Amino acid sequence: MQFSIYIIAECNMKLMTRDDKSLLYNVGGKEGVLDEEVLLLTQQLLSSNPDFATLWNYRREILLHLETVRSEDEIQRLYEEELSFLEACLKVNPKSYGSWHHRGWVSTRLPRPDWARELSLCERCLSLDDRNFHCWDYRRMVVRVSGVPVDQELQFTDRLIGSNFSNYSSWHYRSTLLPLLHPGSPEAASPQREPPTSSLLKEYELVQNAFFTDPNDQSAWFYYRWLLGRGVCVCVCVCVCVWGFSTNSEVILRCGYRNALYYKSLTHLHKICDLPPGTISDTSNEHNLTVHWTERHTHRDCALYTGRSESWCRDSATDLELFRSELSVEKSSVLQSELQSCTQLLELEPQNKWCLLTIILLMRALDPLGYEKETLAYFQTLKEVDSMRTSYYSDLCSKFMIENTILKMEYAEVRVFSLCEKNLSTLCHLDQLLLVTHINLSSNQLLGLPPQFAMLQCLEVLQADDNAIENLEGVYHLSKLEEVSLRNNNITQLSDLKILTTCPRLARLDLRGNPITQIANIQSQLAELLPSITELLL
């Protein structure tokens, strides 16, 4: 009787009528019986409550059993009856997981399936509720199995979008169909996969019609973002860095993804290894190191010249390659005309956040430095019209400001880097700053130094006055760090500073204007915690 216990545990008895309950006990008593009588019993139960997974499973067992003992025609008839029963169930609950799943199963078991009928069923369901994702899933299954041409499906989305464009499902379906129809189009980066411009322009036109008609509808904007930004990740080795101390030497490899859509999450800093002691024992000779990246079949060379204790090899930070992460490298004429359309829309709808945000992204893609002033102004407006997301916009703005500052570096080997008075609320792209020895983060709105801060492996002097820093998580194993200035921040406890013990060379620490200075005996406690410090300002 394990079976019936299982059923009762699953179904909500309150929802069942007395008849249903007695039926259920009948089914329970029939455990192991695989005949049409049970098929009928389960049918009665399911027609009043189609969300009853166990009963569907039971039915499938029966049907599978019957398949072995019946002729093909009988099976065909049996499954066709099952399909019409399912239609009745879908009328009870058009979003029943059980019914849709069972229908998919029946369709694949049917000896002679009628896919046209299934397609028209989907069409009918979607005309009643064009956001029924169960039906969308089922339709995709039907389309895949029956081989409906892609362009026909695209026309189908045309039709659905035409009748109501506020529909993520249709737009999304479109975004999966277009790459199939034009296999080259999403990867615009490589020349042999040049997208057919005319069809791309048509898409831009379509989606523009949508957001001009209703700029507050986000489904169109999301599709637009997809259209603009289909960059692919090319993982490359950006920088190899070697330095030696008297005792050991290290090789650091940084690889990043150019043109990556998810730039932030995909950047890595690998410390490859400590070179075995004595490998580079004398600096009077030139040493050549080669890093092989077998997975990517690439290698980088790095030469440690005579008399130097460190060396690096990295790509120059040209703006085209660095931060074009959000939007793909489209023809800039296309982006330019998109920017014009959006600006036009903004004149009509100065408060529209989607429009503002898209303009900012387009400007970033076109000319991040040239549009810096406008971008900042738009961010200000965005924060006003969409106050719920001020922090998001601040972080995004910080990211762009840091990018711009990096782009402004005259050459890649700049070692003194200032980000003061930029209203930063977060830090990113720290991987770009691997070689920096002096960083100034003063007068921003930072609450902490994030773990990625530890990428600044060459850092010697950190200045972060006039922020609201509470934690120093990222000041971790910075082997060259000598001086930290944290005036007027929000450091309150001794434990906040504990992480500094991982930086062996730290000699000067400025904590003036922090709450921690109010603690009694703080000086002696600090001296105990950080014995290497020779100059402590409180």
Partner 1 sequence: FKLNLPSHSDERLSESVIAAACARVGQRVLHVDRRSYYAANWASFTFNGLLSWIDDNKVCTYFTLLFITPVNSFKQQDQEECAPLAEDQQILSSDGEPQGEEQLSGSAPTQAKKKKISYTKIVKEGRRFNIDLVSKLMYSRGLLVDLLIKSNVSRYAEFKNVSRILTYRQGKVEQVPCSRADVFGSKELTVVEKRMLMKFLTFCLDYEQHPEEYQDFTERSFWEFLQNNMLTENLQHFVLHSIAMVPRETHTEEGLRSTQHFLRSLGRYGNTPFLFPIYGLGEIPQCFCRMCAVFGGIYCLRHSVQCLVLDKESGRCKAVIDTCGQRISCSHFVVEDGYIREEQRKGVEHKHISRAVLITDGLLLQSESEQQISLVTVPPLEPGAPAVRLVELCSSTMTCMPGTYLVHLTCPSSGSAREDLQPVVSRLFTKPASDGSDERPAVLWAVYFNMRDSTAADRSGYDLPGNVHVCSGPDAALGSDHSIRLAQEVFRQLAPHEEFCPPAPNPEDIVYDGDGGQGEGAGFSEAAQAEEGAAEEAEESKEKEASQESSPVEVGEMPDPPPAPLAEE
Can you give the binding site for partner 1, defined by CB under 8 A?
Answer: 127, 162-165, 208-210, 212-215, 341, 344-345, 348-349
**Shortest Cβ distance from residue 30 to partner 1 (Å)?**
36
Q: Is 91 helix (H, G, I), strand (E, B) or coil?
A: helix
Residues in contact with 199: Cβ distance below 8 Å, sequence separation at least 6, in sequence order: 178, 181, 182, 185
Which candidate, 394, 143, 341, places its Cα nearest to that of 227?
Answer: 341
Residue whose CB is less far from partner 1, 164 or 316: 164
CB of 213 to partner 1, least distance (A): 5
Residue 234 tokens read as 């090319």
Quote the longest CA-to-CA distance of the chain: 95
Other CB atoms within a 10 A radius of the CB of residue 493 amount to: 11
In the 8-state DSSP scheme, what is residue 451? G
Instruction: Write down the least CB distance from residue 165 to partner 1, Å.
Output: 5
Q: Rounded distance, CA 300 to CA 302, Å?
A: 7
Cβ nearer to partner 1, comparing 79 with 211: 211
Please tell me what DSSP assigns to residue 276: P
Output the smallest distance, CB 25 to partner 1, in A. 32
Which three-class secondary structure state does DSSP give residue 483? strand
Shortest Å distance, C-beta 201 to partner 1? 14
Residue 56 Cβ vs partner 1, minimum distance, rounded to whole Å: 29
The residues that bridge with 508 in the sheet, in sequence order, are: 483, 535
Could you tell me which residues come within 8 angstroms of residue 59 by beta carbon, excluding any fewer than 6 positions away?
A: 39, 42, 43, 46, 82, 102
**C-beta of 156: minimal distance to partner 1 in Å?**
15
- Residue closer to partner 1 (CB basis): 54 or 208: 208
CB of 445 to partner 1, least distance (A): 36
Residue whose CB is less far from partner 1, 338 or 510: 338
DSSP of 354-413, one letter per residue? HHHHHHHHHHHHH-TTTTHHHHHHHHHHHHHHTGGGHHHHHHHHHHHHHHHHHHH-SSTT
- The tokens describing 248, both together, are 């050991």
328/341 with CB nearer partner 1: 341
Q: Which residues does residue 291 pair with via DSSP β-bridges, in sequence order?
A: 300
SS3 of 132-157: the string is: CHHHHHHHHHHHHHHCCCHHHHHHHH
Ordered DSSP codes for 433-488: GTT-SEEE--SS---B--GGGGG-TT--EEE--SS---B-TT--S-TT--EEE-TT
Q: Considering the complex, state which of residue 216 and residue 492 has its C-beta at the smaller distance from partner 1.
A: 216
Q: Which is nearer to partner 1, 163 or 418 (CB)?
A: 163
Q: How far is the CB of 140 from partner 1 (least distance, A)?
A: 24
By C-beta, is 198 or 265 nearer to partner 1?
A: 198
Parallel/antiparallel/unpaired status of strands 234-244 and 310-314: antiparallel
Beta bridge partners of 535: 508
Instruction: Name the residue nearer to partner 1 (CB basis): 212 or 293.
Output: 212
